[in-house]
């Protein structure tokens, strides 16, 4: 029997008009349900399972008001938004060297690109607003031959953390280009990595890519450029491979700094309207990590996002010890990453975890990791983070969650929450702002 457990606001996936919505529990499944007077009723699963349970996940009190009445139609961080910018995403191109069946940015088209000078002005504007953590995204940023100049421009503008969102193909094929990026000031790479089997890439990206991914990791490792692996998790395609992805990443430490899972969301480009069987929710990813690593990593090793809404993500922090041993750090559920400076704490956290700082020298044989100095050296060099972010599409969009988003996209002079920025209607049209 279903039970309404929360009222919230969402949009119609067809016309994107704002609608009242409910979170409805049916057994151990939770759905976001809404009815558009014109286009009918929609129900999308947002949580499956009770490990962890929907109610217990995150110490979060939802806002009493519904936010700005024109949210999300008119957006650009209004006073009703509850988080400041942690990471500002800047699109440097719409072009791509892949043509993936699934792409949140619907990349591959367009010819106009911002010049390096125009991008410098954007970086300056962001830095003036206190946004010193930028992610260069696209499209595929590495198709731009002047990307090292763009990184240098971000550095010159005062950006402290410059992250590259990339499929890694050019990084592996063109080590000189990767070196130029590193020399220009690139901090770390967020690399699309959907699995350890070529069949996964054939389904998701249109061709086998594993060897190219491994080459990219190798090149970045030689350059001491930290790489975080970013799998898009799609039920029936790579949800069986979650444990292998984690184990592959652990073997790659310290060159690989962690794994950031992104359960598939349906905006931009996707083959057909999603059914609930086409979705995987955060607790399912967490349980898969535990089950598929044979219990080496447990659900209890993770904590909810605090910089964003708890139902938007999780993170678990570890230290990789020699011989494959793993030390858990996230053993407390009470994170201090809340309040006005949550975005600053998270920025400092991800910078610490994703930047490679080791000197390459192995620890002495028999090193005692109970020794405070040895522990600190190891956690700095071999910190490893498993995290996830569940993006929201027009079917799952919950304005309560959207209001706590701290990942923002720079567009037309404004910063816009990620899921609002890429929100598309059922026919693929992007929402206006």
Partner 1 sequence: MDSNEKTWKCGKCGVPLVVKKTVFSYLGRTFTHEVQRCPKCGNVFIPRDLAEGRMAEVEQQMEDK
Residue 365 interacts with partner 1 (CB under 8 A)?
Answer: no
Q: Are 39 and 425 in contact (CB under 8 A)?
A: no
Residue 144 or 311: the one with the smaller Cβ distance to partner 1 is 311
Residue 329 interacts with partner 1 (CB under 8 A)?
Answer: yes
Q: Which residues pair with 109 in a beta bridge?
A: none
Residue 379 interacts with partner 1 (CB under 8 A)?
Answer: yes
Which residue do the tokens 């929402």 mark?
A: 431
Residue 371 interacts with partner 1 (CB under 8 A)?
Answer: yes
Chain positions 169 to 188 lying near partner 1, rule: CB under 8 A, are: none
Near partner 1 by CB under 8 A, which window of 5-13, 56-64, 188-196, 326-334?
A: 326-334
Residue 370 interacts with partner 1 (CB under 8 A)?
Answer: yes
Residue 335 interacts with partner 1 (CB under 8 A)?
Answer: yes
d(CA 152, CA 159): 10
Residue 398 interacts with partner 1 (CB under 8 A)?
Answer: no
Residue 2 or 348: the one with the smaller Cβ distance to partner 1 is 348
Q: Are 279 and 235 in contact (CB under 8 A)?
A: yes
Residue 43 interacts with partner 1 (CB under 8 A)?
Answer: no
Residue 177 or 349: the one with the smaller Cβ distance to partner 1 is 349
Q: Are 317 and 378 in contact (CB under 8 A)?
A: no
Residue 373 or 427: the one with the smaller Cβ distance to partner 1 is 373
Residue 218 or 345: the one with the smaller Cβ distance to partner 1 is 345
Residue 25 belongs to what H/E stretch? strand 18-26
Of the candidates 281, 388, 265, the one whose C-alpha atom is nearest the C-alpha of residue 13 is 265
Judge if the upstream peptide bond of residue 70 is cis by omega within 30 degrees of 0.
no
- The two structure tokens encoding residue 344: 């600053």
Q: Given candidates 247, 348, 355, 433, which one binds partner 1 under the rule CB under 8 A?
A: 348
Residue 321 interacts with partner 1 (CB under 8 A)?
Answer: no
d(CA 292, CA 84): 36
The dihedral built from the CA positions of residue 238, 390, 393 and 119, taken in this order, carries a sign that is negative
Of the candidates 119, 218, 223, the one whose C-alpha atom is nearest the C-alpha of residue 178 is 223
Near partner 1 by CB under 8 A, which window of 2-10, 29-37, 264-272, 343-351?
A: 343-351
What is the CA 300 to chain-centroid distance, rounded? Answer: 21
Residue 380 or 411: the one with the smaller Cβ distance to partner 1 is 380
CB of 254 to partner 1, least distance (A): 15
Near partner 1 by CB under 8 A, which window of 94-102, 174-182, 242-250, 330-338?
A: 330-338
Parallel, antiparallel, or unpaired: how do β-strands 303-304 and 414-417 relate?
unpaired
Near partner 1 by CB under 8 A, which window of 118-126, 176-184, 256-264, 333-341?
A: 333-341
Total residues binding partner 1 (CB under 8 A)? 25
Residue 315 interacts with partner 1 (CB under 8 A)?
Answer: yes
Residue 372 interacts with partner 1 (CB under 8 A)?
Answer: yes
Residue 376 interacts with partner 1 (CB under 8 A)?
Answer: yes
Near partner 1 by CB under 8 A, which window of 238-246, 265-273, 345-353, 389-397?
A: 345-353
Residues 1-12 as b/e (b if ≥16 CB within 10 A, e otherwise) read: eeeeebebbbbb
Residue 13 or 310: the one with the smaller Cβ distance to partner 1 is 310
**Alpha-carbon separation of residue 345 from 262, 316, 348, 349, 403 (angstroms):** 22, 16, 5, 6, 18
Residue 239 interacts with partner 1 (CB under 8 A)?
Answer: no
Residue 91 belongs to what H/E stretch? strand 87-91
Parallel, antiparallel, or unpaired: how do β-strands 29-36 and 40-48 relate?
antiparallel
Residue 330 interacts with partner 1 (CB under 8 A)?
Answer: yes
Q: Are 425 and 16 in contact (CB under 8 A)?
A: yes
Of the candidates 290, 292, 286, 279, the one whose C-alpha atom is nearest the C-alpha of residue 310 is 286
Q: Name the residues that contact partner 1, by CB under 8 A.
A: 303, 306-307, 315, 317, 329-332, 335-337, 345-346, 348-349, 368, 370-373, 375-376, 379, 383
């Amino acid at each position: 029997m279903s039970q309404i457990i929360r009222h919230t606001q969402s949009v119609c996936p067809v016309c994107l008009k704002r609608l009242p919505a409910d979170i409805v529990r049916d057994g151990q499944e939770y759905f976001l349900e809404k009815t558009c007077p014109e286009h009918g009723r929609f129900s999308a699963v947002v949580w499956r399972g009770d490990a962890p349970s929907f109610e217990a996940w995150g110490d979060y009190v939802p806002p009493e008001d519904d936010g700005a009445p024109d949210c999300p139609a008119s957006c650009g961080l209004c006073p009703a938004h509850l988080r400041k910018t942690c990471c500002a995403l800047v699109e440097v191109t719409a072009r791509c060297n892949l043509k993936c069946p699934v792409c949140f940015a619907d990349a591959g088209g367009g010819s106009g690109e911002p010049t390096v000078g125009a991008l410098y002005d954007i970086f300056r504007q962001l830095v003036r607003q206190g946004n010193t953590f930028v992610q260069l995204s696209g499209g595929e940023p590495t198709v731009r031959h002047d990307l090292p100049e763009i990184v240098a421009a971000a550095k010159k503008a005062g950006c402290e953390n410059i992250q590259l969102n990339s499929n890694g193909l050019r990084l592996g094929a063109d080590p000189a280009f990767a070196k130029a990026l590193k020399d220009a000031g690139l901090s770390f790479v967020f690399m699309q990595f959907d699995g350890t089997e070529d069949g996964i890439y054939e389904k998701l990206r249109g061709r086998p890519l594993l060897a190219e991914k491994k080459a990219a990791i190798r090149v970045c490792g030689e350059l001491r450029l930290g790489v975080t692996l970013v799998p898009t998790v799609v039920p029936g395609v790579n949800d069986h491979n979650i444990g292998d992805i984690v184990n592959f990443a652990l073997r790659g430490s310290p060159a690989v700094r962690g794994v950031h899972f992104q359960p598939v969301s349906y905006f931009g480009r996707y083959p057909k309207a999603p059914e609930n069987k086409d979705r995987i929710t955060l607790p399912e990813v967490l349980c898969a990590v535990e089950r598929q690593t044979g219990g080496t990593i447990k659900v209890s090793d993770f904590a909810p996002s605090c910089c964003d809404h708890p139902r938007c993500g999780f993170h678990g922090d570890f230290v990789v010890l020699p011989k494959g041993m793993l030390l858990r750090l996230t053993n407390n559920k009470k994170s201090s990453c809340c309040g006005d400076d949550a975005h600053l704490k998270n920025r400092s956290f991800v910078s610490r975890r994703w930047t490679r700082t080791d000197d390459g020298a192995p620890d002495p044989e028999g090193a005692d990791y109970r020794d405070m100095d040895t522990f600190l050296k190891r956690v700095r060099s071999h910190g490893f983070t498993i995290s996830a972010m569940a993006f929201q599409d027009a079917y799952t969009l919950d304005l309560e969650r959207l209001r706590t988003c701290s990942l923002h996209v720079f567009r037309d002079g404004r910063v816009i929450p990620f899921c609002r920025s890429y929100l598309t209607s059922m026919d693929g049209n992007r929402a206006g702002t």
